[in-house]
Amino acid sequence: MIPRRWKRQRRAARLVLVVLAVALAASACAPDEDTGGGETGGTVKLGFISPVTGFVAALGTDMRRGWEMYWQQNGGKAGDVTVQTVFEDDTGDPEVALTKARRLVEQEQVQLVAGPILANTAYAVAGYVAGRGLPTVQMTGADDLTQRKFDPLVLRVGYTSSQSNFPAGQWAYEQGHKTAVTICPDYAFGWESCGGFVSAFVKAGGKIERQVWHPLGTQDFSTYVAQARQANPDVVFIGSAGGPDAILFYKSWTGFGLKDRIPLVGNCCFADQVFLREVGEEALDLQSFTYWSEGRDSPLVQRFVQAYEQQHKEIPSLYAAGAYTMAQVIAEALKKTGGKIEGEDFINAARQVSLSESLYGALTFDDTNNVVGPVYRTRVQRRDDGTLWSVVEQTFPEVSQFGTEGKEAFLEHPVFSRDYTGQ
Amino acid sequence: MSAARWAGVAALAAGIAAVVAAPYVLPSYTVSLLTLMFIAALLASSVNLLAGLAGLVSIGHAGIAAAGAYGVAWATVHGLGLPAALGVAAALTLAVSVVYALTTMRTSGIVFLMITLALGITVFGLALKLSSVTGGQNGLTGVRRPGMVGEWWQYYFFTAAVYGACLLVLAAMSRSPFGLTLRGIRESQSRMTSLGYSVTAVKFVAILVSGAFAGCAGVLLAWNSEFLSPSVASFSRSALAVVIVIVGGVGTLLGPLVGAGIVVAAEYWLSSYVERWQTVLGAVLILVVLFAPRGIVGGLEGLAGQLTHRPRKEGS
């Protein structure tokens, strides 16, 4: 015998479910409004994929903000071409990224897809979009995207994971450091970051004492730091993807008292703004090799930082700057083609874009669609208002994805991995 | 035939007609979502086989699916033909399923759940680390579907057909003596032992069978995206399969399909409009658990039962 109260509850529950179902069904009919535009005169429709939910939501949100800021500052136009963007969230998962790319191409009929950021999502999206004969613009680091897996429909407005670390290896040796230890996360980004440093350092004449690989999401870095200390090298290179790993590593590093004993050199993403906000004072004077420096003495960078800070109350990250630069290159290419986006022709036009100044500095592209641009040696300093940021100390101009080796020789090596870092 | 039987046949015919008509009336993107739904439903069905019949909830089945997916993807990338690729996928799926089975066949309940969780994470870790085989985080590119199902609509029909075939096998199995034995184990392990059944051996076989379905789902997944990376084995994939089973209805034949429909709709369609689609999905899960503890299909079956029984009660 069921009490009547229960029955009433069940009926209420059924009602709730029915209402939910009807609401879902009703909203299903909604998204057909904006089918106009697209092909008609002077408008292009672009797709933009980044992870705004999930474990890398912070990066994706910054990307979206950077992208929006460029079009905002330019009135949503490239020359007289009106640019319309459809945003999608990939949640950091390649399966989702691929399906979202399908939606953008097949349903929204976008003419170009930009993003996403993680290597696996980028490969999944680029493979599909290029397979449909449409151009895609990427900013992910995965080396092979513009190397051994080069596709004429894929342009990278960004640096490979190893690219900015070649000057780091060379520079470290020239500073008189004969031995080094590298510490990198144990997955593709880390292998490629360390590969850049190691190959250049060894080529210059240095010796790698030890390569320490830590799993992504390490909580306790003491064993890894202890390994580095035991090897007692002249210099330590850390190739981090940022986030908690970078912060926890550095806490361990300073805890061991190594801050003033062994020089530490970071990659693009080690001492980023998230890191500086968390670590504070202790981060002063840290040196990094990167292509994005928020404190670089350039009117363009400072205008961008100011506008971004006004809107979002924080200093823009590498990801915001990267998406902004993607938008800028696409806009320049659109001006060249008169608003036409036709497969390889568009990518060829984009590759011809040469910026005398961008957020990254003077940019050109090589013939496998990757950036050739400056790398900066930066140092963490205090801004006038007391905020920590990185300022440029030295510029290495026109760094190529192939380092100093040249394309053919470089492509003979396998891609950097745990087993091959160019030693 | 009774009226209920006729209604069942009519519903089945309507369902099949809808599945066949879909690519002709729906846009290609929507059809690709339906393809994903069938694949998710197949993986969930493999979880449901253990959860529904034997009461063993696995939260690591994406690991087995990943074995099938990596098997077929690796073989295709290395230029093996279709039969060889499927052979590699089957062998790898079997190997991983045997590991799952050997480590969990003596357990049940929360212990079973924890071990499968650990195994799933282990597979994920291996996929990430063995980069010379799996491509690591960068994944495997250059995976291609067999030519005869290359087009999106062909692949949709193929996926639907595989799912349909698996459904028939699952339905037959649930009524077979083997299915009844599994039910017996769920109700009382000790009684089954005293009746002379080797509970451990039965569980071992059940996990292998379930693994075969998961492996199929993995192969379909690799062919669908034509790209593979470790996230295929991630915890969230395994967890989503369990969510699908719970929302759809544990132990019901069509529950996983309904659950997969809801989850795929939330993940791909709702997320284009609502940033917090996971919150919505969570709310749906809570509502289902509170008000339809047997899942949507289970709840509907109960409702249908009530409706058909009531007139008879009044008549007598």
How far apart are the CA of A201 and the nearest CA of chain B, in angstroms? Answer: 24
Say if A2 falls within a structural domain. Answer: no
User: CB-CB: which of A16, A94, A417 is closest to B229?
Assistant: A94
Asked whether residue A57 falls in the same domain as residue A108, the answer is yes
Mean pLDDT of B73-97: 95
Token pair of B36 as six digits: 């994903």
Q: Residue A28's pLDDT is what?
A: 39
How far apart are the CA of A360 and the nearest CA of chain B, in angstroms? Answer: 25
Instruction: Please count the other Cβ atoms lying within 10 Å of the Cβ belonging to residue B190.
Output: 8
Total number of domains in chain A: 2
pLDDT in tens, B217-245: 999 999 999 999 999 999 999 999 999 99
Asked whether residue A191 falls in the same domain as residue A251, the answer is yes
The DSSP-derived string for A123-150 is HHHHHHHHHTT--EEE----GGGGTTT-
CB distance B225–A95 less than 8 Å? yes
Mean pLDDT of A231-259: 93
Mean pLDDT of A185-195: 91
Asked whether residue A179 falls in the same domain as residue A284, the answer is yes
Say if A271 falls within a structural domain. Answer: yes
Asked whether residue A18 carries a pLDDT value surpassing 70, the answer given is no
Asked whether residue A56 falls in the same domain as residue A79, the answer is yes
CB distance A188–B136 less than 8 Å? yes
How far apart are the CA of A4 and the nearest CA of chain B, in angstroms? Answer: 15
Q: Residue B313's pLDDT is what?
A: 46
Asked whether residue A277 falls in the same domain as residue A359, the answer is no
pLDDT in tens, A367-402: 999 999 999 999 999 999 999 999 999 999 999 999
Which residue of A86, A95, A104, A154 is the best one to mutate when testing the B interface, meaning the one whose CB has the most B CBs within 10 A?
A95
pLDDT in tens, A351-366: 999 999 999 999 999 9
Asked whether residue A257 carries a pLDDT value surpassing 80, the answer given is yes
Asked whether residue A283 falls in the same domain as residue A180, the answer is yes
Asked whether residue A176 falls in the same domain as residue A123, the answer is no
* Owning domain of residue A141: 43-159+299-369
Contacts of B29 in chain A (CB under 8 A): 102-103, 106-107
* Distinct helix (H) and strand (E) counts, chain A: 13, 14
Question: How do beta strands A112-114 and A43-50 pair?
Answer: parallel
Say if A423 falls within a structural domain. Answer: no
Asked whether residue A181 falls in the same domain as residue A242, the answer is yes
pTM, rounded to two decimals = 0.84
Contacts of A20 in chain B (CB under 8 A): 284, 287
Q: Residue A45's pLDDT is what?
A: 95
Q: Residue B221's pLDDT is what?
A: 95
Contact A293, A392 (CB under 8 A): yes
Specify the DSSP element, H or E, that contains B231.
none
Asked whether residue B270 carries a pLDDT value surpassing 90, the answer given is no
Mean pLDDT of B5-14: 89
pLDDT in tens, A1-10: 445 555 555 5
Share of chain B above pLDDT 70, in %: 97
Helices (H), B198-274: 199-225, 235-248, 255-264
Asked whether residue A92 falls in the same domain as residue A230, the answer is no
The letter for the amino acid at B202 is V
CB distance B292–A144 less than 8 Å? no
CATH number at residue A169: 3.40.50.2300
How far apart are the CA of A380 and the nearest CA of chain B, in angstroms? Answer: 31
Query: Within 13 Å of residue A162, how many CA atoms lie on the same side as its CB?
Result: 31
Say if A27 falls within a structural domain. Answer: no
Say if A208 falls within a structural domain. Answer: yes
Say if A334 falls within a structural domain. Answer: yes
Asked whether residue A402 falls in the same domain as residue A358, the answer is no
Q: Residue A421's pLDDT is what?
A: 92
Q: Residue A26's pLDDT is what?
A: 38
Mean pLDDT of A53-75: 92
Say if A352 falls within a structural domain. Answer: yes
Say if A9 falls within a structural domain. Answer: no
CB distance B276–A53 less than 8 Å? yes
Which residue of B28, B227, B263, B284 is the best one to mutate when testing the A interface, meaning the one whose CB has the most A CBs within 10 A?
B227
Asked whether residue A254 falls in the same domain as residue A194, the answer is yes
Asked whether residue A278 falls in the same domain as residue A345, the answer is no
